[in-house]
Amino acid sequence: MVRTGRRPGSAGTRAAILTAAGEAFAARGYGGATIRQIASAAAVDPALVHHYFTTKDQLFLIALRSAVDPERLLSQLFAGEVETLGERMVARFLALWEGGAGATASALLRTAVTGERIAQLVREVVFPTVVDELVRRVGVDPAEAPLRTTLIASQLSGLVTTRYVLELQPMASAPIEWVVAAVGPAVQRYLTGELPGLVGKSPPDGGRAGMT
């Protein structure tokens, strides 16, 4: 988890805290982990944790981003045709969830998605970091990017709910490859397909807006 070759000192201390934090959050969840335990595991004074990361919220988010590694994830996603980006997003997301990207990343992602306490943090930081950035790089109309991001989030979070939380069958035991092929095109449409207009735009097919 200590990713750089930097010598011990402030960077080494910061990295040690981050490693301890990742392990603590993964093992005990956001609510169960404490700054004191994390400081103890990193063999530093709790005041240093506050010095480097200000709050437990900040520490969690930085640990999550560090374990998931957005830049590496984004470059994996863009290694392929734009037309199959939706499938790669589903595949990477499921791999992350199921621990294919490391147990810490997997546990942190689960904490981030299922913990009510940190829903706000996820909303403000995690989605902008990865999904928003991905949508931006695809080159869609920037005005549409936030809507596309939340539509993608709606499909991916629901996949978690049905497959891993409710464990609805046969979804829960379907092979990842099948889920990728079934759900990928829906994510692809949210990513690059034509969507209805929102504020100040007319919907693509007129009267449908009044159907309810």
By CB under 8 A, name the binding residues for a second copy: 84, 87-88, 91, 95, 116, 119, 122-123, 127, 146-147, 149-151, 153-163, 165-172, 174-178, 180-183, 185-186, 189-190, 195-196, 198, 203-205, 208-212
Q: Using CA atoms, how far apart are residues 140 and 156, in angstroms rounded to an integer?
A: 20
Terminal CA-to-CA distance of the chain, rounded, Å? 51
> Residues 64, 53: contact at Cβ < 8 Å?
no
Residue number, 38 or 113, with CB nearest to a second copy: 113
Nearer to a second copy, 47 or 211 (CB): 211
Report in angstroms how near the CB of residue 129 gets to a second copy at its nearest. Answer: 14
13 vs 161 by CB, closer to a second copy: 161
Compare residues 1 and 138 and give the one whose CB is closer to a second copy: 138
Q: Dmax over Cα atoms in the chain, in whole Å?
A: 65
Q: Find the shortest distance in angstroms from Cβ 61 to a second copy.
A: 15
Q: How far is the CB of 175 from a second copy (least distance, A)?
A: 8
Q: Which CB, 53 or 97, lies closer to a second copy?
A: 97
Smaller CB distance to a second copy: residue 52 or 127? 127
How far apart, in whole angstroms, are the C-alpha atoms of residue 148 and residue 53?
31
The least CB distance from residue 191 to a second copy, in Å, is: 12
Q: Provide the minimum distance between the beta carbon of 29 and a second copy in the complex, in angstroms, as a whole number.
A: 14
Q: How far is the CB of 132 from a second copy (least distance, A)?
A: 11
